[in-house]
A and B are shown apart, each in its own frame.
Chain A
Amino acid sequence: MTNFVLDCCTLINLYCGWGGLQNLQQIGPSFHLGQRVVDEILFIRDFDDDGSIVNHRLSADEVFLQYHFSILSLSSAGEENLMVRLATKLDDGEAEGLALASCRGFVFCSDDKPVADAARAEGLNTAIISTPELLQMWAGNNASRLSSLPAIIRRTSILGRFCPHRSSPFRTWWEKQRER
C-alpha cells in the first residue's frame, strides 16, 4: 500500500475540487498530514446554495470528519535533521512533510517545483506527485469519475485559484479538462 503525505496546498486544491475530502477514501486509507499542516488554519472557498463564492475557515476537526488522516510528527534525529535542512529552502510545513515522506518511504504530494528542487539538492529519492496526478489516480478508469473531472478541475480553478505552473507536464491536460 502506498502512503501519501499531503502538503497544505494540495489539501486545499483537493478540497476545493471535490467540495470536501471524502473522495480520498476511494484512493485508500493511506493519506497522512504533518503536524504543521494540521496546525495551520486552512482558509478555503466554496459555493453557496445560490452559487456565490463564500470564504470558509476549515478546522482540523472538519478535515478529520471527512477523512481520517493520521498525523505524523518528526520522531527521529534523522527526520529532524532533514526537516531543518529542507527548511532553508522551503516553508516549515513542506519541509516537515517532505522529511517525513522521505525518511518513511512515503510519497509526498506537492505542486511546487521548489519542493522537487530541494529534494534533489538533498539527494532524496522521494516520489513527489501533484494535484493533477492525484485526481488522475482517483479517477482511474472509472467512467463516472472521469466524466466528473472537468467539473472538479473547474471548481479547483475557480475556488482554489489553482492551475499547474507553465513548467508542469500536466498544464495542457489541466487546461483541456477545464475547457471540456
Chain B
Amino acid sequence: MSTLSERLTLARKAAGVSQDSAARHLGISRPTYIAIEKGVRDAKPRELIALASLFKTQVNRLVRPEAPSLPISPHLRGEISGSGNEAGLSEAVDKLVGFVDDYQFLLEKTNSRLAPVIAPPQIERSEISINQLAARIAQSERSKLGLGQREPIGDIRKTLDEVGVHIFVDALNSRLAGLYAYVPNFGYCILVNRQHPLDRMRWTVAHEYGHFLFDRNQPGVDYLNSPARKPYSERFADAFAANFLMPAEGIRHQFEDAQLRSGDVNVGDVCRIADIYGVSLMAMTLRLEMMRLIHQGTWDFLRESGVKVRDIKLEAGLDLNMAKPGIETFPERYILLAIQAWNTEKITTSQFARLMRCSPIEAREKAESKSKSIIDADEMEISLRLDKSVLERGNATA
C-alpha cells in the first residue's frame, strides 16, 4: 500500500464516504476504486482532484509524501458503547489525526524531531486502594515535574508538553470532554473540548494524563455523566486528576489557613481555594470530602440547596467577568515550528494559515507577535529569527 493510497483510504473514512460512492463519483467501477486504495492502480490527477473535493479535503494533504499517522481508533469503553457516533467521536478522532498529520508535516519541513519520550514505567495494580495508589503516583509526578507538594499547577499544558504529551484544544461535541490516544511514531496526544469551562478543561487534561501513566497504550474516550460504573482505569484517572491538581498538603494548608482566620470554613472559602487551584467548586468540595476535612455529602447538600455556583462565586468576591483566555488549538512547539517554517519560506502564507487553522491575516499577526520580543528594561525592541542557531559560533560574541 503506497502513502497516497493510505491517505486516500484515511480521507474517505474520515469523510464517511463508502467505496461504492467514491467509485460512482469518479465514474469507475467499485473494484477499480478498490484497486486505487490498495495501490494496485494509480489515481489519475483528475481523479485525485475529484476525490479531494468529495472527501472535503485538500489535494495537498492527499499527496503529502510522508506516511500518514496510523489511524487512531479509540476502543469505546463499556459504558459508552454505541453512543460514539452521536457524541461526535469520529469527528474528534479525525481532528486529532489531522492535527498529528500537520505536526509531522511541520517537523519534516523544518528538519526537526521531537525529543524521544521516555515513558514512565507501567503502574502495577497494587493491593492498596485506587485513591492511595493515585495519590502516590500524583505526588511522584508532581515531584518529577518540579511542581512541589502543595502549589497549584499554573500552565498544565506547557508542563505536560515538556514530558512529550501533545495537548490539542478544539471544539468537540459537548458530550465529549476529551480524547486520549497514543499515535505510533509520534507520541501521546490529548484532545480537549474547547467548549467546556476552563476548570473542566484542566481536569480533563489531568485525567487524560492519568491515562498516560496508567494505560497509555489503550486509547480511550471520556464522556460526561456516563451512567454506568466506571472501569478501574477511569477511576484511577479521576483519582489521579484530583491528587495531581489538588495536592493534599496544599489543600490542607489552605483549609487550615481559612479556619484560622475566622474560626470557620464557609462555602466562600471553598470557592476561593477552588479558584486558587483552578478547579470547579464541585471538584474542590468532593476533594475536601475525600480528605475528610468536611462532611461526606456536603456537595450533594450544596447542589440540592439550589444556590447557583455563579452567585456563590460573586459573593466570594471572585471575578466572574474575567474572560476565558484565548486558548491556542495547538501546543506551543507546533506553533513555533509553523512560524519557523513560514519565516524561513519553507511554506507559503496560505499553508501557514491552514496549519494554524486561521485566516492569513491572523496567521501573520500570530507570527509577528511571537517573533518579537520587547526587553522592558531598555524599551528596546528586538526581532528574533526563530531559525537562528544559538550554537553557531558566528551568531554571538565569545
Contacts and interface: CB of A to CB of B under 8 A. Distances in A.
Interface of A: 7-9, 12, 16, 42-45, 74, 77, 80-81, 83-85, 87-88, 90-95, 110-115, 117, 159-162, 165, 167
B64 interface: yes
Contacts of B65: 88
Contact of A9 (B45, B60, B360, B365): B360
A161 to B, nearest CB: 4
Contacts of B345: 112-114, 117, 165, 167
B349 interface: yes
Contacts of A111: 349
A160 B49 contact: no
Contacts of A77: 45-46
B364 A81 contact: no
Which 6 pairs from chain A and chain B are nearest by CB?
Answer: A43-B359, A112-B348, A161-B364, A91-B350, A84-B45, A113-B345
B338 to A, nearest CB: 13
B311 interface: no
B49 A84 contact: yes
Interface in B336-355: 345-351, 354
A12 B360 contact: yes
A160 B353 CA distance: 13
Contacts of B349: 9, 111-112
Contacts, number: 84
A4 to B, nearest CB: 18
Given A7-B350, A161-B365, A91 B46 contact: no
A168 to B, nearest CB: 10
Nearest to B360: A9
Contacts of B60: 87-88, 90-92, 95
B265 to A, nearest CB: 47
Given A112-B345, A165-B345, A87 B368 contact: no
Contacts of B315: none
A74 B360 contact: no
24 contacts: A7-B350, A9-B348, A9-B360, A12-B361, A16-B361, A42-B359, A43-B359, A44-B361, A77-B45, A77-B46, A83-B45, A83-B49, A84-B63, A87-B63, A90-B350, A91-B58, A91-B350, A95-B60, A112-B345, A113-B345, A114-B346, A115-B348, A161-B361, A161-B365
B52 interface: yes
A162 B363 CA distance: 11
Contacts of B348: 9, 90-91, 94, 110, 112, 114-115
- Among B45, B48, B350, B364, the one with the most A-chain Cβ atoms within 10 Å of its Cβ is B350
Interface residues of B, number: 26
B63 to A, nearest CB: 5
Contact of A80 (B46, B58, B350, B368): B46
A132 to B, nearest CB: 15
A12 B45 CA distance: 29
A9 B361 CA distance: 9
Contacts of B360: 8-9, 12, 43
Contact of B354 (A45, A84, A91, A167): A91
Nearest to B368: A161
A27 B368 CA distance: 32
Contacts of A117: 345
Nearest to A111: B349
Contacts of A165: 345
B362 interface: yes
Contacts of B362: 43
A88 B63 contact: yes
Nearest to B347: A114
A80 to B, nearest CB: 4
Interface in B46-67: 46, 48-49, 52, 58-60, 63-65
A159 B359 CA distance: 13
A87 to B, nearest CB: 4
Contacts of B354: 91
B52 A80 contact: no
A7 B52 CA distance: 20
A91 B351 contact: yes
Contact of B364 (A44, A83, A162): A162
Given A7-B350, A80-B46, A114-B345, A95 B361 contact: no
A78 to B, nearest CB: 10
A160 B351 contact: no
Given A43-B359, A114-B347, A162-B364, 16 more contacts: A7-B350, A8-B360, A9-B350, A42-B359, A83-B45, A83-B59, A87-B59, A88-B64, A90-B348, A90-B350, A91-B58, A91-B348, A95-B59, A95-B60, A112-B350, A167-B345
- Among B59, B63, B64, B351, the one with the most A-chain Cβ atoms within 10 Å of its Cβ is B59
